[in-house]
Structure 1
Amino acid sequence: MMMEIQPEKPWSAACERNRDPILAVLREHFADRRRVLEVGSGTGQHAVHFAAALPHLVWQTSDRPQWLAGIRLWLDEAALPNTPPPLELDVTRRWPAGGFDAVFSSNTLHIMGWPEVEAFFAGLDGALDADALLAIYGPFNDGGKFTSESNAAFDAALRADDPKRGIRDLEAVDALARARGFALVEDRAMPANNRCVVWRRRP
């Protein structure tokens, strides 16, 4: 009788380190939200941590196809009532249709090319309700300058892996958000020279 080998859950040390500082931001800003679309759920660790801590939210994971199996392993093990199956989502293609009043994304903009970052913001229009929140976690530059030596080294590593990648200027990202009707609500400093930036779209 052959034993079926179960795949191992993907795991990220960074997710373990940053999940509670991010949760502190989400507790405040997502207190009145109902349905959150997480773009680029990665391993799925953030989803189960946030959905367990914020049971009033339906936490919808999404990512490219190669990540979905790992996300399902985390969701299935946690067996939370507020985490539906993950959606396949490429930001440059079709997004899920409306009904979300918040979007969360962690450590995604710097691994996208700039055209993909633009597509990310363009895709928000059809997915979000009128009075929606957007929260993005990760490293950002200020005025084209790195905020730390570690971020400069990280940016160099990103570009060595793929020249299209790199830490984004917050001013440029904010301009994309404003073009879609979002106003900056908070830019909170986080551990390890990261930030959690929150915008709100006004009806």
Structure 2
Amino acid sequence: MAQTPPKSTESDADPRRHAPATLRNRDAILAILPQAFGSALQILEIASGTGEHAAHCAPALAKAAKGGFIWYPSDWDAENLPGIDAHAKAAMADSGQPGCIAPAQRIDVSQADWTPQWTQPGQAGPIEAIFCANMIHIAPWAAAEGLFSGAGRLLPRNGTLTLYGPYRRNGQHTAPSNAGFDASLQSRDPSWGVRDLEGEVAPLAQCNGLSLHRIETMPANNLIVIFRKD
């Protein structure tokens, strides 16, 4: 079952926040990412939230890559960035993979022509793949539009955009729990909601030069959906 956005815990001394769902889904996500990213070494994460996916996945991927791997976390909320960096620092120290996670930066994909700070407007940056978990259903549709527009602009040919979360399939929820989750989201904000993969998300991808490449069924009625730049 898809989970509602968790309440995070935080102390004055430690900026790290914790999302309980991450502990349940991170290993399943990590198992798919090598196939999603392929040979890509420069990964941009959109909507990193607590930063726990970066902290868990990046060191393992960096170790397998044997050099050159960098995960770039980001979030629209600047208040999340210190916690993301704190998780990253601890994970890199524990794993012996220093430098595999870059400092977190603020990116709001709902803004037109958003560009990571290490690229110049109008020029292709070093990003080879993009990962985004649990965003497009807990955000206005403009965030999905901006995410795909940026992916179409920034990714090289055959670069991938990998999404994780709940989806409707051909207009239908995949489980009663997801239908309830969708209703809960829309009661909180009518612009939120579980998106339809075939009716909304895939057409948006196509409009931005990306094709649906692969769908992986995940625990708790979630999916990993991989789009590839044409």
TM-score range, shorter chain: over 0.9
Which residue number in structure 2 is paired with residue 32 of structure 1?
A: 39
- What's the offset of the Cα at 1:53? 0.9
Question: Which consecutive aligned stretches of 4+ in structure 1 deviate over 3 angstroms post-superposition?
Answer: none
Larger relative strand fraction: 1
Partner SS state of residue 203, structure 2: helix
Once residues 7 and 30 of structure 1 are traced to their aligned partners in structure 2, the CA distance between those partners, rounded to angstroms, is: 32
Cα distance in 1 between the residues matched to 2:140 and 2:228? 24
Structure scoring higher RCO (CA < 8 A, sep ≥ 6) equals 2
Shift in Å, 1:20: 0.9
CA contact (8 A) 1:41 1:63 kept: yes
Distance 2:151 2:106 in 1: 16
Q: Which moved more, 1:111-120 or 1:14-23?
A: 111-120
- Superposition pairs of residues 104-123 of structure 1, within 5 angstroms: 104-123=131-150
3-state secondary structure, aligned to 2:173:
coil
Residue type at the aligned position of 1:188: E
Which of 44, 50, 59 does residue 52 from structure 1 map onto? 59
Give the CA deviation at 1:78.
2.0
Say what the alpha-carbon RMSD is for the aligned residues.
1.3
What is the CA-CA distance between 1:194 and the residue it aligns to?
0.2
Which of 128, 136, 147 aligns to 2:155? It is 128
CA contact (8 A) 1:60 1:85 kept: yes
Q: Which amino acid aligns with 1:75?
A: A
Once residues 117 and 30 of structure 1 are traced to their aligned partners in structure 2, the CA distance between those partners, rounded to angstroms, is 20
Count, aligned residues: 198
Does the alignment pair 1:95 with 2:115? yes
Q: Show the counterpart of 1:75.
A: 88
The answer to whether the 8 A contact 1:134-1:198 is kept is yes
1:63 aligns with 2:75: yes
TM-score by length of 1: 0.92
Deviation at 1:68, TM superposition (A): 0.9
Of stretches 171-180 and 116-125 in structure 1, the one that deviates more from structure 2 is 116-125
Alpha-carbon separation, structure 2, partners of 1:186 and 1:129: 18
TM-score (norm 2): 0.82
Q: Identity over the aligned pairs, expressed in percent?
A: 38
Shift of 1:70: 1.3
Deviates more, 1:40-49 or 1:122-131: 122-131
- Specify the alignment match of 1:182 in structure 2: 210
In 1, distance between residues paired with 2:214 and 2:162?
A: 9
Q: Is the 8 A contact 1:72 1:85 kept in 2?
A: yes
Task: Tell me, in whole angstroms, the C-alpha distance in 2 between the residues paired with 1:166 and 1:148.
Answer: 15
Q: Tell me the equivalent position of 1:193.
A: 221
**1:130 is paired with a residue of what secondary structure?**
coil
